[in-house]
Amino acid sequence: MKSLILLLACLLPLGAAAQTHAVSGTVTVEESGEPLAHCSIHVKHTDRHTKTDKIGRYRIQAAATDTLCFVMLGYDTVEEAVGNRTRIDIALHPMFEVFEEEEESVAPAYLTRMTGIVTTERPARLSGEEYAHREENRFHAALHEPLSTFALEADGASYANCRRILASGRAPETDAVRIEEFLNYFDYDYPAPEGEAPLSLQVEAGPCPWAAAHRLVRIGLKAREVAGAELPPAYFVYLIDVSGSMYRTLPLVKASMKMLTDNLRAEDRVSIVTYADGVQVRAQNIPGNERRRIKDLIDELEAGGSTAGGAGLEKAYGIARKYRIAEGNNRIILCSDGDFNVGPSSDREMQALIERQRKLSGAQLSVIGFGMGNYKDSKMQLMAEHGDGNYAYVDDLREAAKVLFGEFGATAWAAARDVKMQVEFNPAQVASYRLIGYESRLLEAEDFNDDRRDGGEIGAGHCVTALYELIPAGAGEHPAGSVDALRYQGRQGTPVVTIPSAEALAVKVRYKLPGEERSRLIQEELIDSGTEELTGDFAFAAALAMYGQLLRLSDFRGTASWDAVIRLAQSGLANDPEGYRREFIDLVRVAKAVCGDAYCMQPGESRIAAGE
pLDDT tens string 418-443: 999 999 999 999 999 999 999 999 99
Instruction: Compute the radius of gyration of the chain from its Cα atoms.
Output: 26
Q: How far apart are CA 381 and CA 151, in angstroms?
A: 14
- Give residue 231's pLDDT: 83
Task: Return all residues near 374 (Cβ < 8 A) that are at least 6 apart.
Answer: 127, 128, 129, 245, 337, 339
Burial (CB < 10 A; 0-12, 13-18, 19+), residue 429, is buried
Q: How far is CA 416 from the centre of its chain?
A: 18
- CATH code for residues 140-226+416-477+502-609: 2.60.40.1230
- Give residue 118's pLDDT: 34
- Give residue 121's pLDDT: 37
- The most distant pair of C-alpha atoms in the chain lies apart, rounded to whole Å, by 109
- Give residue 585's pLDDT: 94
3-state class percentages of the chain: helix first, strand second, coil last, to nearest 5 = 30, 25, 45
- Give residue 611's pLDDT: 37
- Give residue 110's pLDDT: 29
- Give residue 604's pLDDT: 57
**Phi, psi values for residue 79, rounded to 5°:** -115, 135
Numbered ranges of CATH 2.60.40.1120 in the chain: 19-92
Residues with pLDDT less than 70, the chain: 1-18, 47, 73-74, 95-127, 228, 342, 344-345, 409-410, 481-482, 489-497, 603-612
- Give residue 495's pLDDT: 53
**Phi, psi values for residue 147, rounded to 5°:** -110, 135
- Give residue 453's pLDDT: 92
Nearest to 53 by CA among 139, 130, 114, 117: 114
What is the side-by-side order of every strand in the sheet holding 430-436?
140-141, 430-436, 463-472, 215-223, 199-207
Neighbours of 304 (CB within 10 A): 12
- Note whether 457 and 389 are within 8 A (CB): yes
The CATH T-level fold of domain 228-412 is Rossmann fold (3.40.50)
Numbered ranges of CATH 3.40.50.410 in the chain: 228-412
Numbered ranges of CATH 2.60.40.1230 in the chain: 140-226+416-477+502-609
The CATH T-level fold of domain 19-92 is Immunoglobulin-like (2.60.40)
Q: How far apart are CA 207 and CA 213, in angstroms?
A: 8
Task: Write the secondary structure of 344-368 as one string of H (helix), E (strand) and C (coil).
Answer: CCCHHHHHHHHHHHHHHHCCEEEEE
Q: How far apart are CA 450 and CA 438, in angstroms?
A: 20
